[in-house]
Amino acid sequence: MQTTLMVEGMTCGHCEKAVKGALQEIEGVEEVKVDLQTGKVDVESEDNVSKDDMKDAIEEQGYDVVS
Ligand SMILES: [Cu+2]
């Protein structure tokens, strides 16, 4: 399953790492791609991973998920 999230507040490599790391800790998440320019985060995961769990993981790191 491919999920795309739009994230606000990521500005540098550290932000990218924080978001990637948080998502990769979710069971079933396989691959995470972050585009710092656009805030676009692409997540490849097993079908049972919910988008809400992804959102929560990102928000816990202090970033806003806008869609
Ligand atoms: Cu940063």
Distance from Cα 64 to the centre of ligand 1, integer Å: 13
Distance from Cα 40 to the centre of ligand 1, integer Å: 15
The residue type of 63 is: Y
Write the pLDDT tens digit of every residue in 5-28: 999 999 999 999 999 999 999 999
Q: What percent of the chain has pLDDT over 70?
A: 100
| Burial label, 14 (beta-carbon count in 10 A; 0-12, 13-18, 19+) | exposed
Distance from Cα 11 to the centre of ligand 1, integer Å: 5
Mean pLDDT (the chain) is 98
The residue type of 32 is: V
What pLDDT does 51 receive? 97
Q: What percent of the chain has pLDDT over 90?
A: 100
Distance CA 46, CA 54 (A): 12
Q: What are phi and psi of 64, to 5 degrees?
A: -100, 130
Tokens of 63: 């970033």
What pLDDT does 5 receive? 98
